[in-house]
Amino acid sequence: MKSRYFILSVVLSVAVIACSRNAITGRNQLSLVSDAEVQNMAVSEYKQFLSQSKVISPSASKDAEMVRRVGNRLITAIQEYYKKEGLSNELANYSWEINLVDSKDVNAWCMPGGKIVVYTGLLPVTQTEPALAVVMGHEIAHALAKHGKERMSQGLAQQLGGVALQVALANKPAATQNLFMNAYGIGSNVGVMLPFSRSNELEADKFGLRFSALAGYNPREAIPFWQRMAKAGGQKPAEFLSTHPADETRINQLQSIMDETVRDYYKPMTGSKK
């Protein structure tokens, strides 16, 4: 019992002294690792993941070319958005990469620094380019909102006593790597149903919708996409038992901000696929 109270006191103490304010969400987050640290780790983990996966070249696949095209449009829109908001420095160390990986898993993710992967198993559910943009925008929003960094910091506090990342890597490299992989959903077969908190997921929905609209894709495609995801998802636990928002909650949230998103951010590109 005493050890449990000690661990709780450590976590609370760390949370008090190690918080940072996210640039786009305005929310304070637990931050035990620096952006540079997680981005350096992402470069290594991304390279290793690709070396162990079947990466599909855009020159050999229309699907891979589409994924690359959608990703590049989102990146351009995000860079312009950050510049307009005076936040370009937030993206200064981003080195964007976009790859399509051959896998039946319904999944996509974005590591710190803009390391993006889409799985082929996701494409039959997205079906359209705008729906793919919604999903990729959602995953990029997770990275920009630093949800994975926040989750990894929570893991360091709860599982490793709040030690610095370099200390954790030196003393418990396997456990620390697992924290990173779990924080960013790499290798997960639960698709965009990543294990972020409900508030994080809804936050990513909001900004992901905004980014896809700024990239010229109709954000209204988010609704039929999530309806397809609901049908493809099978049995799910009740919302209060899950960190992921129920499909009905997510769709209602998206519908509540849809008109505002379309009005303020949707900029269709003439002569291109919407």
Amino acid identity for residue 218 in this structure:
N
Distance CA 83, CA 79 (A): 6
Q: For residues 30 and 232, give the distance between their C-alpha atoms in angstroms, rounded to a whole number.
A: 34
Residue 159: count of CB within 10 angstroms of its CB: 15
Distance (Å, whole) CA 138 – CA 110:
9
Residue 139: active-site member: yes
Distance between CA 140 and CA 147 in Å, rounded? Answer: 10
Cβ 75 vs Cβ 114: under 8 Å: yes
Residue 145 structure tokens: 């909102």
Catalytic residue among 45, 97, 139, 221: 139
Q: How far apart are CA 254 and CA 219, in angstroms?
A: 9
Helix (H) / strand (E) element for 56: namely strand 55-56
Q: What are phi and psi of 97, to 5 degrees?
A: -140, 140
Q: 162 CB contacts (<8 Å, ≥6 apart)?
A: 10, 11, 13, 14, 18, 32, 156
Q: Which two tokens stand for residue 197?
A: 């908190």
- Tell me how far CA of residue 106 lies from CA of 42, 56, 161, 232, in angstroms: 21, 16, 34, 10
Residues involved in catalysis: 139
